[in-house]
Amino acid sequence: MTKILTMSCLYDKLSRLGLSEDYVKDNGLPSWWDDSLNDKHEAVLEGAGYIADNLNVDLKSLLAIEEEIKFNPYPPTKFKRRSSQDNLTLSVGQALCSRLAELIAYGIEVNFTPLPTDVREIRAEIITNHTAVNLISLLDYCWSKGIVVGYFNRFPETVQKFTGFIQLQSSCPVIILSSTHKDSAELTFDLAHELAHLALGHLEQKPVLIDEKIESDSNGDDEENEASQFAIRLLLGDCDDFGSAHEALDRLGCAVDGQQVINKYLADKLDWDKFSDESYEYLERALGV
């Protein structure tokens, strides 16, 4: 007997990826979805399409009852890990951020300009137009260079999370920050750190880089230490004693909600007319705008 595909079946399969039923309802399905559709075959097929599109799930593996479910293939990725967690524990977050980066890049018209490798050049250009290097001036600089920046933290509660994500799209780099910090100073350092990875060529071999946690002391990871020192110099300029990253953050002294600031910039620059109604709705939820 042929099994009838139901939403219950889909929820069960998605749970194996770490995507709970509540998470799928809140983030994968459109707002008009009603549980009365859960056992209607044609509606379930349509719902599966929305889930696969929004959450980066391989549609064929979702629909095939006997097939193991999986996310869509990832680009080659460089992981910067602080813990002993296996890279696979980051796969849910990577899938969600990768899809978000694709959507954002689709809705943006920018021209990417490669960055100088000398941090002093970058700082000098920012200071030419602003009184200090802070979140606002750093966002202005990124967007002027065709570097897209967003904030996203709508991850399932049980999955491994990370702080910074960069994906090189065909048209531009997309940086997604995911720290739970709202203070703009913390997010400014995270953004400067990710910008350093781009400037220093840390993505030359792989088009995706994931920072599980951004800290000034990176346990012997040369690229992480290099990026953090670059970030401190970008924020503070040349001096004899750079101190710790936390000292740099204290000296920024700005306490606005950095998450909102980042996504307000992004929302203003997106061409929302490019998106389908469902993608439009998903982006609104994902970005909190």
Which pLDDT does position 240 carry in this prediction?
46
Number of domain units in the chain: 2
Q: What is the mean pLDDT of residues 14-28?
A: 95
Q: Within this chain, do residues 204 and 226 fall inside the same structural domain, yes or no?
A: yes
* Structural tokens at position 169: 């799209």
pLDDT in tens, 182-221: 878 889 999 999 999 999 999 998 999 999 887 766 556 7
* pLDDT for the residue 191: 96
- One domain, residues 254 and 179: yes
Claim to verify: residue 114 and residue 48 sit in the same structural domain: no
Closest by CA position to 153, among listed 11, 288, 289: 288
Residues 129 and 204 in one domain: yes
Residue 215 burial (10 A CB sphere; 0-12, 13-18, 19+)? middle
Note whether residue 148 is domain-resident: yes
Mean pLDDT, rounded, for 58-71: 93
Q: Are residues 19 and 151 in the same domain?
A: no
Confidence class for position 244, pLDDT limits 50, 70, 90: low
Query: Is 2 inside any structural domain?
Result: no
Angle of CA points 15, 18, 20, to nearest 5°? 55
Range of the domain at 246: 77-287
Is residue 241 within a helix (H) or strand (E), and if so which, with residue range? none
Question: In terms of domains, do 47 and 89 share one?
Answer: no
Pair (205, 127) in one structural domain: yes
Residue pLDDT, tens place only, 214-241:
776 655 678 999 999 999 999 988 754 4
Specify whether 98 is located in the same domain as 46: no
pLDDT digits (tens, 9 = 90+) for 73-122: 988 899 886 555 555 567 899 999 999 999 999 999 999 999 999 999 99
Q: Do 239 and 275 lie in a common domain?
A: yes
Residue 68 lies in a domain: no
Mark whether 54 and 110 lie in a shared domain. no
Same domain, 55 and 189: no
In this structure, the answer to whether residues 237 and 96 fall within a common structural domain is yes
Residue 254 has pLDDT above 60, yes or no: no
Residue 70 lies in a domain: no
Which amino acid type is present at position 102? Answer: E
Last residue of a domain, one of 63, 87, 108: 63
CB 71 within 8 A of CB 13: no
